[in-house]
Amino acid sequence: MPWQWPWTRHDRVLFQIGDLPVSSTYAAVAVNPTVAMQHSAVWAAVNLIAGSISTLPLAAYRDGDRDPLPTLPPILRAPSAGWTLPDFLYALLQSLLVRGNAYGLIVDRAGAGLLPSQVELLDPNRVAVAVPNGAVEYRVDGQRVDTASIWHVRAFTTAGNVVGLSPIGHARQAVGLGIAAERYAAKFFGESAIPSGVLTSDQDIKPDMARTLQERWENKHQGNRRIAVLGSGARFRAVTIPPEEAQFLEATRANVATVARYFGVQPELIGGKSGGSLTYANVEQRALDFLQFCLRPWIVRTELALSALLSSTTTVKFNAAGLVRTDLLTRYQAHESAIRAGWKLRSEVRELEDLPPVAGIDDQEGPAVA
């Protein structure tokens, strides 16, 4: 389906088709989600957030019960046909990060409460959303769909709107600038009239001789790094242009930092520079900063969305401990301290360290060993 202006009239009701049209920018680059993902900084930020969360361990809990269920509910083990849970979560988060909305069609239900057992994620371009008479209405490929069959997850919500804001729509000027700079640099070095070098001679060279000398040089040396052999006073001088003079590198660095701000990612995590004096004493502190200020809102939003597919007494939680795992000695010392203080069991420590369970280990006495 081609991109189009997102609002169309239908029975005097305003529908939103997808969540972002092709939008021109001052850099003369039309930006939409597909084009935006060609920007290396956008791709890196989306992949970093979606990849980090989709691979975290996930557990389901009964309300009021701190012990996780022995197995995940069926819909979380195989949420969609042919998709693993990490694949499903990655696609969900990518849609949220790029478009601000994710839509799923509930195609099967099971159990006494007819809870969803299979959800197929939809391309947001296929979905239209409206609010006639105060009731949300969804259309997929132009056909109205029962609201109860749509799983709609929003990001960047605003008061009075039933759809989330599109981050690419708001960041389109920065994205367009970055793509324009990359395209200009590619053309500059690939199609520019600036020669790769200059052949000079002390002798008087007529036009025919110049063409002959040029052809002989290109036939002999173009496309390889063979040793150049010159005569009759001829000399070859390479022509180079420092990238700094062309402002390509500086513009690219600044653009990466701008894109990073839209996604709440530290620029250095996606190949940029922080641009300040902030430093981290160790990897753990940077991971904590990344988890607290970037990942945490997305983790909570995803947990709530997944919990909405389960019974009212079941919730899901990600285990983000792996993101901030310290070195081996520090981690084991912390485990020992927790066990001695009585607020962590040996079995819990073994689970955190991905070690097999040991029967009766919590009843043992003596030094704590993970």
High-pLDDT (> 90) share of the chain, %:
32
φ and ψ at 197, to 5 degrees? Answer: -170, 175
Give the global pTM: 0.74
- Return the higher-pLDDT residue of 173 and 330: 173
The answer to whether 124 and 95 are in contact (CB under 8 A) is yes
Instruction: Report the pLDDT value the prediction gives residue 184, as an integer from 0 to 100.
Output: 77
Average pLDDT over residues 83-109: 95
> Is the pLDDT reported for residue 194 higher than 80?
no
Band of residue 16 on the pLDDT scale cut at 50, 70, 90: very low
> Tens digits of per-residue pLDDT, 208-219?
776 776 676 666
> Tens digits of per-residue pLDDT, 39-83?
999 999 999 999 999 999 899 998 766 778 888 898 999 899 889
φ and ψ at 225, to 5 degrees? Answer: -120, 40
Map tokens 């975290």 to a residue. Answer: 56
High-pLDDT (> 70) share of the chain, %:
72
Instruction: Report the pLDDT value the prediction gives residue 302, as an integer from 0 to 100.
Output: 96
Look up residue 367 and give its two tokens: 């030094």
The answer to whether 301 and 49 are in contact (CB under 8 A) is no
> Is the pLDDT reported for residue 310 higher than 50?
yes
Instruction: Report the pLDDT value the prediction gives residue 160, as an integer from 0 to 100.
Output: 85
Mean pLDDT over the full length of the chain: 79
